[in-house]
C-alpha cells in the first residue's frame, strides 16, 4: 500500500516517498491512521515548500490552502491530475499521489487555521468592497458575495477567497478571464472574470487579502 506510481519523479516527491517508507516501516498502527500519517508526512515534506507548514503560504504567488473547503481541495487535486486545471507546478506533484491521499490531505488542510494577510491600499480596497458586494450592473458582473459569502468565507462548492494573497487572486481571475483556468463547473468564473476590468480585479483582490475568513 506504500508503493506509489510515479511517472514524473521530482526530488521533493522522492524525498516524501522515502519519508513515507521510513514512517511505514516503524509503523504498527491500524491502516486508517497510517493514511492520516501519510497525509501529514506528505504535507510536511512536499507541500511545505510552497504552501507553508500549516497551509499558510508565505509566498504571494502560491495560494494559502489552510481552511479551504475540504471538497474544494479534493476537486482541485483531481482537476490538476486530470489536466482540467492546468499547472506545470502542481501536475507532477499530484501525479505522484494516490486518490486516498487527496482525501486525507484535504482533511488536513481544511482543518488548519487561515492567517489573513495585511490590508492593501485602503482606497483601492474600498472600491473592491463595492465590487464584492454589488458587482457591476452595467457590465453584468454579479456580486461575489452571493456565492463566496461575507468575508469571502465561501460555502460548500464556493471556495474561501478571503485572506488570500493578492497576487494569487489576481492571477486566478486573469486565468479565468483568458480561459487558461477552465475547471469551473458551468463556466461560471470564466463568465464573471471576463466581464471584469483590470481595475475591478486588482481592487477586489486588495479588498479580500486581509479578511479574516473562517
Ligand atoms: C513547488 C511549489 C508547490 C508545491 C511543492 C505544492 N504546490 Fe500546490 N500549488 C502551487 C501553485 C503554484 C498553485 C497554483 C496553481 C495555478 O496556477 O493555478 C497551487 C495550487 C494548489 C491548490 C489549489 C488551491 C486553490 O485555492 O485553488 C491546492 C489544493 C494545492 N496546491 C495543494 C497542494 C498539496 C496538497 C501539495 C503537496 C502534496 C502541494 N500543493 C504542493 C505550488 C505548489
Ligand atoms: C455563482 C457563484 C459565483 C459567483 C457569483 C462568483 N464566484 Fe468565484 N467561484 C465560484 C466557484 C464555484 C469557484 C470554484 C471553481 C472551481 O471549481 O475551481 C470559484 C472560484 C473563484 C476563485 C478561485 C479561488 C481559488 O482559490 O483558486 C476566485 C479568486 C473567485 N472565485 C473570485 C470571485 C470574485 C472576485 C467574484 C465576484 C466578482 C466571484 N468569484 C463571483 C463561484 C462564484
Ligand 1 pocket member 90 (CB < 6 A): yes
Residue 136 Cα, ligand 1 centroid: separation in angstroms? 31
Task: Determine the Cα angle at 111 with ends 110 and 117, to 5°.
Answer: 70
Q: Specify the pLDDT at position 14.
A: 52
Q: Which three cell numbers stand for residue 174?
A: 486573469
Which numbered atom of ligand 2 lies nearest the CA of 183? Answer: 18
Ligand 2 pocket member 148 (CB < 6 A): yes
In the chain, where are the structural domains located? 9-110, 122-209
What digits encode the pLDDT tens for the residues 57-111?
999 999 999 999 999 999 999 999 999 999 999 999 999 999 899 999 999 999 9
Q: For domain 9-110, give its CATH number from 3.40.630.10, 2.60.40.1120, 1.10.760.10, 3.40.50.150.
A: 1.10.760.10
pLDDT (tens place) for every residue of the chain, 214 residues total: 444 444 444 555 555 444 444 334 333 333 444 446 789 999 999 999 999 999 999 999 999 999 999 999 999 999 999 999 999 999 999 999 998 999 999 999 999 999 999 877 889 999 999 999 999 999 999 999 999 999 999 998 999 999 999 999 999 999 999 999 999 999 999 999 999 999 999 999 999 999 998 6
Which distant-in-sequence residues (6+ apart) come within 8 Å of 59 by Cβ?
A: 50, 165
Q: Specify the pLDDT at position 119.
A: 79
Residue 96 Cα, ligand 2 centroid: separation in angstroms? 28
What's the whole-model pTM score?
A: 0.88
122-209 shares the fold of 9-110? yes
Residue 193 Cα, ligand 2 centroid: separation in angstroms? 9
Ligand 2 pocket member 161 (CB < 6 A): yes
For domain 122-209, the CATH superfamily is Cytochrome c-like domain (1.10.760.10)
Q: Which three cell numbers stand for residue 59?
A: 509566498
From the number of C-beta atoms within 10 Å of its C-beta (0-12, 13-18, 19+), residue 90 rates as middle
Nearest to 19 by CA among 35, 42, 36, 50: 42
Neighbouring-strand partners of residue 141: 136
Which numbered atom of ligand 1 lies nearest the CA of 97? Answer: 38
Q: Specify the pLDDT at position 20.
A: 43
Q: Whose CA is nearest to atom 5 of ligand 2?
A: 144
Q: Specify the pLDDT at position 6.
A: 45
Nearest to 192 by CA among 152, 146, 149, 123: 146
Q: Specify the pLDDT at position 120.
A: 77
Chain position carrying cell 470564466: 190
Amino acid at each position: 500500500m506504500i508503493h506509489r506510481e510515479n511517472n514524473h519523479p521530482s526530488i521533493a516527491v522522492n524525498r516524501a516517498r522515502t519519508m513515507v517508507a521510513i514512517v511505514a516501516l516503524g509503523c504498527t498502527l491500524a491502516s486508517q491512521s497510517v493514511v492520516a500519517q501519510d497525509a501529514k508526512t506528505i504535507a510536511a515534506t512536499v507541500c511545505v515548500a510552497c504552501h507553508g507548514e500549516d497551509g499558510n503560504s508565505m509566498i504571494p504567488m502560491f495560494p494559502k490552502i489552510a481552511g479551504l473547503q475540504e471538497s474544494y481541495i479534493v476537486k482541485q487535486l483531481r482537476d490538476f491530475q486530470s489536466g482540467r486545471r492546468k499547472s506545470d507546478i502542481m501536475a507532477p506533484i499530484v501525479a505522484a499521489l494516490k486518490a486516498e491521499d487527496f482525501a486525507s490531505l484535504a482533511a488536513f488542510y481544511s482543518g488548519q487555521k487561515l492567517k489573513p494577510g495585511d490590508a492593501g491600499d485602503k482606497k483601492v480596497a474600498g472600491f473592491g468592497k463595492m465590487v464584492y458586494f454589488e458587482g457591476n450592473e452595467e457590465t453584468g458582473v454579479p456580486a461575489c458575495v452571493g456565492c463566496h459569502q461575507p468575508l469571502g468565507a465561501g460555502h460548500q462548492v464556493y471556495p474561501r477567497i478571503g485572506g488570500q494573497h493578492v497576487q494569487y487572486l489576481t492571477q486566478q481571475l486573469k486565468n479565468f478571464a483568458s480561459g487558461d483556468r477552465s475547471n469551473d463547473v458551468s463556466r461560471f468564473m470564466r463568465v464573471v472574470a471576463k466581464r471584469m476590468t483590470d481595475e475591478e480585479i486588482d481592487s477586489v483582490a486588495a479588498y479580500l487579502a486581509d479578511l479574516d475568513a473562517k
